[in-house]
Amino acid sequence: MKHEDEVDRIIADWSAARPDLDLTPLAIFSRLWRITKHLDRARAHAFDRSGLASWEFDVLAVLRRGGEPFRQSPKVLVQQTMVSSGTMTNRIDRMVDRGLVQRLTDPNDGRGVLVEMTPLGLTLVDAAMTRLSDSEERLLGGIPRSERERLSVLLRRLALSVDRFEPDPIPADED
């Protein structure tokens, strides 16, 4: 396995051009960006093979993780998928049309709505999750199992550090 990657070259070039800067953050986030690109491709392939768009998987995954009856409020879906309420309304509409979810009246609030996954949605999200798990395992293949937990702990710490900042507003037309 190579011990240097493309980011090493980039950092070396920047170090020569700007020796006054600490480039450790650039090295970390550049690697995360490159990993994200590979992960996005692997995930898109896994979801596509299962008949889902990535955003459909995101919504169905929230419902699936919540357990039976696979039902959540739109507010929970918005919070967990990190999209605007307008985007979520659009997504739910499209998923209802595809038969992946249905809207129900909230029995605890007659004005409220709940989103429930259909049997088709359950079948597709489970297939996609299996493919995703297999794909991500292949991506991690170069890292010994003994090092994966440490990597997970470090990435959790980074995520908590990054999560301290308010996210930029999400454009309403994002899909």
At residue 131, the pLDDT reads 94
How far is it, in rounded angstroms, from Cα 76 to Cα 78?
5
Give mean pLDDT in consecutive 10-residue pieces for the chain, a chain of 175 residues.
84 96 95 94 92 95 96 93 92 97 88 94 96 93 91 93 74 56
- The answer to whether 118 touches 75, Cβ cutoff 8 Å, is no
At residue 121, the pLDDT reads 97
At residue 3, the pLDDT reads 84
What values do phi and psi take at 19, rounded to 5? -65, -10
At residue 63, the pLDDT reads 97
At residue 23, the pLDDT reads 95
* Cα Rg of the chain, angstroms: 20
C-alpha to C-alpha distances, 34 to 7, 43, 58, nearest whole angstrom = 9, 14, 21
At residue 163, the pLDDT reads 83
At residue 2, the pLDDT reads 63
- Token pair 């409020």 is found at 73
